[in-house]
Structure 1
Amino acid sequence: MIGDGMGVTQISAGMYSSDKQLNLERFPVIGLHKSYSADNLITDSAAGATAFSAGVKTYNGAIGVDMDTMPVTTILEMAESAGMPTGLVATSSIVHATPASFYAHVKLRKEYEEIAADLMETDIDIFIGGGAKYFERREMDTRNLSDEMRSRGSEVASFVDTKLKDIKVKKAKRIAYYTADSEPLPYSQGRDYLVDATEIAMNFLDQRDSLDKGFFLMVEGSQIDWGGHSNNSDYIISEVLEFDRAIGAALNFAQQDGETLVIVTADHETGGYAINTGSVRGQIEGAFTSDYHTADLIPVFAYGPGAEQFSGIFENTAIFDKMKLLYGFARR
């Protein structure tokens, strides 16, 4: 679970704005990762997510490729090769940098239609996020990728014609659900699907795990970052609190299941966010040093089998290495 742009202050602001304990406070293991990319002390989401997904430091803007622009195998692709069901959930478009870095291999993060085409090369079982236009009204070719998914037996739906809770999960072979034509709205403007999407994805993947090998799911609280870029405390806080509720859903699943590892982190901090004098609980006086990312160390929270692997201070690429080890892929 990735809270894009979520540093310690973003978490603190959410904590001091909530009338109850955050779900993040339930984690027994906490570490810190070094977020820098291969070409800059300040990473972007593309390089940051590629470090998590494939274990390589690469240049800012790179999606699933190394410094030489060569494709690198991701943890999602490894899980698919091992026969595990996989999924992605995001409050951005599904072709945005973070989710894209788990399945696509392109030189630049803005190549959204190329990224959408790369999704067709995977066997992903469920994805929920925005970006329908990059699949259905493409400028680079005449393909309708949603129709192609339907021809392969996928259940394809969108917020326009089907509520998320109404998708036929039990009957579906695979699920593609578009939450927006382009980018979804902020939570404060009515978007509220992240908790439901997380629960639906976990349960669907668990049901699909017929070989009892486990599954891989990446969930992104994408717009915490956008609040940082906007230097907007209220935007940050509302997104952190929604993301925390999704974390709670994942923790509840893991506690009941007993076999699921939940990892929560961020790719970088955004905004150089600080809580200033005059702040009180429920009313944060925030200040910013930047409208871009910073090089802060980033917290990592872990719960479940193997959680102890995530304590201490380590490179962001180590998150991939630890997941790979715990899945058993490192021994294959």
Structure 2
Amino acid sequence: MKIPQNQIINSEFILMKNIKKIIAFSAISIAMSCGKTSEEKENNTTEVTENQPLNIIFMVGDGMGIPQVSSAFYFGENTPNFKQFESIGLSRTSSTSHLITDSAAGATAFATGEKTYKRAIGVSKDSVALPTILEQLKEQDYQTGLISLTSITHATPAAYYAHVEDRDMHEDIAKQLVEAEVDFFAGGGKKYFQNREDGLNLYDSLTAKNYKLDTLELSKPDYSRRNAYLLSEEGLPSKTEGRGDFLGDAAKTAFDYFEANEKPFFVMIEGSYIDWGGHAKDDQMMIQEVLDFDKTIGVVLDFVKSHPNTLLVITADHETGGVSIGKSYDENGKEIPQQVQVYFNTDQHSTELVPVFAKGKGEELFRGIYENNEIYHKLMQAINEN
């Protein structure tokens, strides 16, 4: 406040008096702040997070049924991260054309909320393009991400951005990925972006779309651009072939990128080779892929715990191998009491219900037994109710 001319004589006195008042008020404020209970402080934090859009982390253990999850408890050295979940459900995986589905129809159900026919990517049972959760959230100013061990054009990641009648249309799918402008993606599939039958070089197209493209390593992201990591011609190596910690490292890299841009995000992370272990009837491959997926869950849970405005949902598109875990026998046919063994009933998918694990805001929505396409609707409900 401007002091009138006739009060200039008293200005120094008034100034000192006001300073004393400010100091006294500050001391009271500090004392009140220090006197707040932990519950009051927590409520203040809650008020801040409640006004923020919900981050969504969706993890798919391709081919991961209950027996595969069980293997982590019997063959791992540490307590599985699966044990940290209290909100658990079961999902029925059938497609509109087959009781026993495939990854394309399963992922389309997750991504669009509609069941479709086997081999379909992002289209209805009548082959009409369906909007995906990734596309819808992008329109709401969400950042978007996809991480896979297979080609990034493979069925599970493709269902979030592509719309084709058959999952093997990899070149069309790759072209649609460029057009989709996903902010962060990591996986394999280099061959579908260059040396294509149509002669297009999609590396150039990605650069034109403001992507930092790395085909050699999972390097530090460029926070001012989109980021694309294409690290193998098709799929990455399996865990038993020496893949290392790609899945967890890619998740950390994505979180680092999303946090730097300070906007909500949706990311799908696929543990692809649990399924491949089942198809190969390779128990060691299956077990190691489950353990790697569980380790990645630990990385993601660390993020969720420090970012309360995040929902993590983990499930599978189907079970592969008709797996059971039973008694183990020595070469003489005698049971080994402290060992168990993996048994495969088939080298194909099965119709077993698959588990759903949820942690974070809205996790209670995922308890119970429901169809796989309901997962999309539950995710959207959690976002809208936040």
**CA offset digits 1:210-237 (Å, max 9, x no partner):** 4xxx210000000000000001110100
Unpaired segments of 5 or more residues in structure 1?
Answer: none
Q: Which amino acid aligns with 1:223?
A: Y
Q: Which residue of 2 aligns with 1:190?
A: 242
Structure 1 equivalent of residue 367 of structure 2: 311
- Change over 3 Å in CA distance of 1:179–1:283 after alignment to 2: farther
Give the match's secondary structure for 2:146.
strand
In structure 2, stretches of 5+ residues that fail to align are 1-58, 330-335
Q: Give the match for residue 288 of structure 2.
A: 238
Name the counterpart of 1:174. Answer: 226
Cα deviation for residue 71 of structure 1 reads 0.4
The 3 A distance-change label for structure 1 pair 230 and 50 is same
Give the TM-score normalised by the residue count of structure 1.
0.93
TM alignment of 1:156-305, pairs within 5 A: 156-159=213-216, 163-164=217-218, 167-192=219-244, 193-210=246-263, 214-278=264-328, 284-305=340-361
Offset at residue 158 of structure 1 (A): 1.5
Structure with the higher helix share, 1 or 2: 2
Aligned partner of 1:224: which letter? I
Q: Please state how far the C-alpha of 1:172 moved relative to its aligned partner.
A: 4.3
| Aligned mates of 1:305, 1:8 — CA distance in 2 | 24
Cα distance, 1:245 vs structure 2: 1.0
SS at match of 1:38: coil
Shift of the 284–67 alpha-carbon distance from structure 1 to 2, 3 Å rule, reads same
SS of aligned partner of 1:262: strand
Identical counterparts, % of pairs: 43
| C-alpha distance in 1 between matches for 2:188 and 2:72 | 25
Counterpart in 2 of 1:15?
A: 73
For residue 168 of structure 1, report the CA deviation from its aligned partner: 3.6
Post-superposition CA distance 1:50-95 (Å, at most 9, x none): 0000011100000000111010000000111111000000011100
Give me the whole-angstrom Cα distance separating, in 1, the residues matched to 2:147 and 2:178: 16
SS in 2 for 1:124: coil
Contact kept, 8 Å, 1:18 with 1:282, in 2: the verdict is no
Largest Rg, 1 or 2: 2
The residue type equivalent to 1:97 in the other structure is: A
Q: For residue 365 of structure 2, what is the amino acid of its counterpart? A: Q
Structure 2 residue identity aligned to 1:202: F
C-alpha contact 1:38 1:57 (8 A) present in aligned 2: yes
Higher relative contact order structure (alpha carbons within 8 Å, sequence separation ≥ 6): 1
* Runs ≥4 residues deviating over 4 A: 279-284
TM-score (norm 2): 0.81
Aligned length: 321
